[in-house]
Amino acid sequence: MGFGSKRTVSLSSFIIWCTLAAFFVLVLLPTFYLISYVFLRWPEVNREVFANPIIGDENWNQILKVLFFTFRLSLSATLFDLLFGIPLAYVLARKKFPGKSLVEDVVTLPLVIPTSGFGFATLVTWTTASGIGGVFGSSSGAISLDTLIPFINVQALLFIVHVALTFPYVVRTVETKIQSIDPTFETASRTLGASSFTTFRKVLVPLMIPGVFSGAVLAFARSLGETGATIIVSGVSSTASIAIVRWTAEFKLATASFMGSLLVIIAAAIILPVEVYLRRGKRTLRFSSHFPVSLSRQLLRLERFTSGKLARIKDFAPLIVVVVTVIVPIIVVLNSVILFWPADPYTGKLEGGVFYQLFGPANYFNHLLQATLTSIVVALISTYISMCVAIPLAFIIERRWYGSFIRSILKVPMIIPTSSLGLSVLLMWGSSGINLLSTGIWLIILTHIVFSVPVIVESIIPAYEGSDIQTYEDSARTLGATEYNATEKVSIPLVKGGIITGFILSFTRSLGETGATFVVMGRNVTVPALVVNMVEALAIPAALFTSTFLILLALIMLGLIRVATRRR
Amino acid sequence: MPEVKLVNVSKRYGRIKANDGINLTIKDKEYVSVIGPSGCGKTTLIRNIAGIIHPDEGEIFIDEESVSNVPIEDRRIGYVFQNIALFPHMNIWDNITYGPHVRGLPQQQTRPLALEMLDMIKIAARSEAYPHELSGGTQQKTAVARALISDARLLLLDEPLGALDVKVRTELRYELRRLVKDLRLTALHVTHDQEEAMSISDRVVVMKKGRIVEAGTPVSLYTRPQHTFTANFVGEANFLKGIVVETTADTSVVDIGSGVQLRANRGKETVDERVIVVFRPEFAVLDKPIEVNRLSGKVMDVLYSGSIIRVMIKLPNDETIAAKRIASFDKPMYDVSESVTISVSPDNVLVYPYPEEGLKKALALE
């Protein structure tokens, strides 16, 4: 007995060490490598960025311009998300209405949708006659690729795509937060004489501020790193993550890595303080707002007046955002595939039809099959390896004293812009680093592992904390099980729901990832990257078909997620 | 002068009728409690009055005015919640002045009101504290003060003491009643604790499955309940099945099997009717049984709970009854299997017609 237990103790510590090592090498190291790369090769970076013999500091000017543009875009998208997302989150958290779960699904859809396919759908919807323009009888699109939104000087199309892709982060996070707030507070406020708008402002808003912050942070990070859809709708303008893709493709590695590190550092500088603030357990924000009395009374009167009248509008206006940014593009792209199937409906040319492009001389169907195979192999292998790291890691986070520290640094891969991530993996494993792998399927897998591990860990942790694992495991131990044994036979089955959800989320994410993949894929094209290639080759009908394929795939994955989460 | 009147109020949730044709009048300055098992619709009732929910049918009048179209914030009621619901992001002062503030009352008027309230509940010194820094009892007192500051004349209390410790609960009970009476308020108090309801109210309403079973003063409900359900739910009672064998002008004799007969004051029962005979354990005299209504049996079990001894006795007809008496050292204890004789005064024996749905169902809490 003594011998046996000693062996299993060392077995569990062996597993812990392996997990931590894998976590460090696979997940953390690339990011650090990217930043250290800039320092180690500073002369080279300096020469290329600040003191180029031919163009001087033009590259640095480019970087600044791109960064400012990116921040304008991300910030305005996030603010827009908050403006419409908070009311929608409130409605979803507090009201019951028929079709609510459908609305929730539609809101979640952009989280699982492969972004390049979605970007293409938005592009078709807004800038071509098959989309919104056509509905109103125009022979061109409703807007053009470079229509600007006044004041913020951001292309309308980019803005729409970024809102669509970041909206769910705000809505779902704030919704969860509101659900955790006891509705009695609101009722109490009403019985004390406050109108519903006053109640919202004075009671709900202060209590849900942490949720709003974390939702905004997630949305902002997502927008900062968005590549797949952006690359399709960006036109001539360039966001930071696209610039990295482009510069990497042009082998301007020093400039790209400098930009990548800047992005990582800036993202961390904005996001981590908010995380720390939220983690410190300040669950509510206490403000002492002292409006002038007359103003405050006017505000109260206004709120009382509008509470009854605007309630409906407030409830359902945000839905329009979802309909316009998510549902319409999907319908348009499905509709267009059917219209374009035999031939281009406008010119009548066979060559402009989906069928011709897929099975004609270009034979895009073969490309698609090849890409699908690559995508699935990548998603399966990367998810499998990530699970092997993430499951023990989740347990380590919950049990060891350094767990919360690990969970904090796990945030790093979640906030890194994906193209920076791709670049960092490329630099580390590729010819300028360890020189073990060149671009291709294995690099894609290594890249996907970096973001899959945190996704799986974050799905397992709620399942772990939701079930009373420690008690069950303690009782298993009193019945004679070793720690390893109890974990294997008791704890892992208890968090099965979380593991399954994590698997599906990670698989979905891997299937749809575009930005990082694009940097590292070389000739092993995945489906989302194929859409980008098709758009760049102006094979629009083929892109239509592939986008539809991706969107349908996303819908299937969403269904699976529903089934997996419902069973819990 | 708040008088609350509910006329035929119904509310359903899906297939469940939470309130089913409720008619009830709460008089001005009356303290009324609503009791009933969980899910009987008592919280629905109070939420209907507050305007948190709206009845599907029927109407509610406050001071003879229908409040159907009056939103919650304009009903001028004070509502106290089981989970206290002091705003966690505001200190005590801000919590208490919340009502006047959102109603747009100027500060110079709010201040003296709030000071008065803080004084009344004796926590003026802690007005800067946040709710979580106070004990549960103090929190709930603050919540009551917050509910009353805007001059509410009708106080609705939804299990106000439910979240508190037992000791604090009994203490606060009396404070609540004193407060309501001092301020001459009308109060409706929902609770599942029948003892709390009895000790605090002028009148108690018993509910079951969305309907009012009966209403009455605590004394009449306890000593002369109109229904077997009330007899069972309020306090404790022995239920014995029997048949009426004889009636006179003022007494009935009921055979409860194996030749055992009990006398009771005459009600509406007639000879040969199937009935239920009910008496409370503490009305069973254990020591010096009187001559009438003697019951002999075997002690099955003795339970000692501090002030009271409870003896379970098996009667010759195989029914088991409970008898209680004050514990004291100068009287003998009882041994299991010992034979005992008890008696119940006919005044304390109640006779009910045998319920159509069966005794078990009539007593069932759900």
Q: What is the pLDDT along chain A (568 residues), one digit of tens a residue?
A: 344 444 555 677 888 889 999 999 888 888 888 888 888 888 888 888 887 778 778 888 888 888 889 989 999 999 999 999 998 999 889 888 888 888 888 888 888 888 888 888 888 888 877 777 766 666 666 677 677 777 777 788 899 999 999 999 999 889 988 998 999 999 999 999 888 888 988 899 988 988 898 889 889 988 988 888 888 888 777 888 888 888 888 888 888 888 888 888 888 887 778 777 776 655 445 555 555 667 777 888 887 777 766 667 777 778 888 888 888 888 888 888 888 888 777 777 777 788 888 887 778 888 889 999 999 999 999 999 999 999 999 988 888 888 888 887 887 777 777 888 888 888 888 877 777 777 788 999 999 999 899 989 988 888 888 778 888 888 888 887 877 788 888 888 888 888 888 888 899 889 888 888 888 888 888 988 888 888 888 888 888 888 888 888 888 888 887 787 765 4
Please indicate, yes or no, if residue A108 is contained in any of the structural domains: yes
Which chain B residues are closer than 8 Å to A281 by Cβ? Answer: none
- Give me the total of CB pairs closer than 8 Å, taking one residue from chain A and one from chain B: 73
Distance, in angstroms, between A307 CA and closest chain B CA? 11
Q: Which of A191, A291, A307 to mutate to test the interface with B (most CBs of B within 10 A)?
A: A191
The whole-number pLDDT of residue A476 equals 84
Domain with A200 in it: what CATH number?
1.10.3720.10
* A95 contacts chain B (CB < 8 A): no
Superfamily, domain B4-230: P-loop containing nucleotide triphosphate hydrolases (3.40.50.300)
Which chain B residues are closer than 8 Å to A293 by Cβ? Answer: 106-107
Residues A407 and A469 in one domain: yes
Residues A12 and A136 in one domain: no
3-state secondary structure chain B: CCCEEEEEEEEEECCEEEEEEEEEEECCCCEEEEECCCCCCHHHHHHHHHCCCCCCEEEEEECCEECCCCCHHHCCEEEECCCCCCCCCCCHHHHHCHHHHHCCCCHHHHHHHHHHHHHHCCCHHHCCCCHHHCCHHHHHHHHHHHHHCCCCCEEEEECCCCCCCHHHHHHHHHHHHHHHHHCCCEEEEECCCHHHHHHHCCEEEEEECCEEEEEECHHHHHHCCCCHHHHHHCCCCEEEEEEEEEECCCEEEEECCCCCEEEEECCCCCCCCEEEEEECHHHEECCCCCCCCEEEEEEEEEEEECCEEEEEEECCCCCEEEEEEECCCCCCCCCCCCEEEEEECHHHCEEEECCCCCHHHHHCCC
Q: Which two tokens stand for residue A205?
A: 């808003």
Q: Average pLDDT, stretch B232-246?
A: 90
Location of each CATH 3.40.50.300 domain in chain B? 4-230
Distance, in angstroms, between B312 CA and closest chain A CA? 39
Q: Do A308 and B71 touch (CB under 8 A)?
A: yes
What DSSP element (H or E) covers A328? helix A328-340
Residues A532 and A430 in one domain: yes
Name the phi and psi angles at B98, rounded to 5: -60, -50
Residue of B nearest to A293 (CA): B106
The whole-number pLDDT of residue B49 equals 93
Query: Can you tell me whether residue A150 is helix, strand or coil?
Result: coil
Q: Do B50 and A202 touch (CB under 8 A)?
A: no
Distance, in angstroms, between A300 CA and closest chain B CA? 7
* A190 contacts chain B (CB < 8 A): yes
- Tell me the per-residue pLDDT of B305-350, one tens digit each, with 9 for 90 and over: 878 888 999 988 888 999 988 887 776 678 888 888 888 988 889 9
Q: Is the confidence at residue B260, as pLDDT, over 90? A: no
Residues A376 and A328 in one domain: no
Given a contact cutoff of 8 angstroms between Cβ atoms, the answer to whether B92 and B141 are in contact is no
Residue of B nearest to A284 (CA): B89
Q: Which of B44, B87, B133, B154 to mutate to test the interface with A (most CBs of A within 10 A)?
A: B87
Q: Do B89 and A284 touch (CB under 8 A)?
A: yes
Q: Do B104 and A300 touch (CB under 8 A)?
A: yes
Residues A146 and A185 in one domain: yes
Across the beta sheet with B274-279, the strand order is: B261-265, B251-255, B238-247, B274-279, B350-353
Which chain B residues are closer than 8 Å to A207 by Cβ? Answer: 88-89
Distance, in angstroms, between A469 CA and closest chain B CA? 28
Q: Do A293 and B79 touch (CB under 8 A)?
A: no
Given a contact cutoff of 8 angstroms between Cβ atoms, the answer to whether A441 and A375 are in contact is no
Please indicate, yes or no, if residue A351 is contained in any of the structural domains: no
User: Would you mind telling me the total number of residues written for chain B in this entry?
Assistant: 366
Q: Do A301 and B104 touch (CB under 8 A)?
A: yes
Please indicate, yes or no, if residue A548 is contained in any of the structural domains: yes
Nearest to B85 among A188, A283, A297 (CB): A188
Residues A423 and A516 in one domain: yes
Q: Is the confidence at residue B36, as pLDDT, over 50? A: yes
Residues A367 and A334 in one domain: no
Residues A302 and A414 in one domain: no
Distance, in angstroms, between A398 CA and closest chain B CA? 28
Q: Do B73 and A284 touch (CB under 8 A)?
A: no
Q: Which residues of B touch A (CB under 8 A)?
A: 50, 52, 71-75, 77-79, 81, 83, 85, 87-90, 98-99, 102-104, 106-107, 143, 146-147, 150
Q: Do B98 and A194 touch (CB under 8 A)?
A: yes
Distance CA A130, CA A138 (A): 10
Query: Can you tell me whether residue A148 is helix, strand or coil?
Result: strand
Residue of A nearest to B90 (CA): A286
Residues A320 and A448 in one domain: no
Residues A218 and A275 in one domain: yes
Residues A22 and A145 in one domain: no
Q: Do A194 and B78 touch (CB under 8 A)?
A: no
The whole-number pLDDT of residue A5 equals 47
Please indicate, yes or no, if residue A494 is contained in any of the structural domains: yes
Structurally, chain A folds into a number of domains equal to 2
Nearest to B73 among A185, A190, A283 (CB): A190
Q: Which of A94, A189, A192 to mutate to test the interface with B (most CBs of B within 10 A)?
A: A192
Nearest to A203 among B81, B87, B103 (CB): B87
- Tell me the per-residue pLDDT of B58-94, one tens digit each, with 9 for 90 and over: 999 998 899 988 888 888 889 999 888 999 889 999 9
Please indicate, yes or no, if residue A55 is contained in any of the structural domains: no
ipTM exceeds 0.90, yes or no: no
The whole-number pLDDT of residue B28 equals 93
Q: Do B103 and A193 touch (CB under 8 A)?
A: yes
- In Å, what is the CA distance from B160 to each residue of B141, B165, B298? 10, 12, 44
Which range of residues forms the domain containing residue A118?
69-338
The whole-number pLDDT of residue A4 equals 43
The whole-number pLDDT of residue A2 equals 42
Residues A322 and A406 in one domain: no
Distance CA B52, CA B81 (A): 12
Q: Do B79 and A203 touch (CB under 8 A)?
A: no
Please indicate, yes or no, if residue A347 is contained in any of the structural domains: no
- In Å, what is the CA distance from A309 to each residue of A92, A193, A195, A312? 20, 18, 12, 7
Distance, in angstroms, between B152 CA and closest chain A CA? 9
End-to-end CA distance of chain B: 36
Residue of B nearest to A185 (CA): B85
Sequence-distant (6+) residues with CB within 8 A of B200 are B31, B33, B173, B174, B176, B177, B189
Q: Do A195 and B73 touch (CB under 8 A)?
A: yes
Residue of A nearest to B82 (CA): A184
Q: Do A191 and B106 touch (CB under 8 A)?
A: no
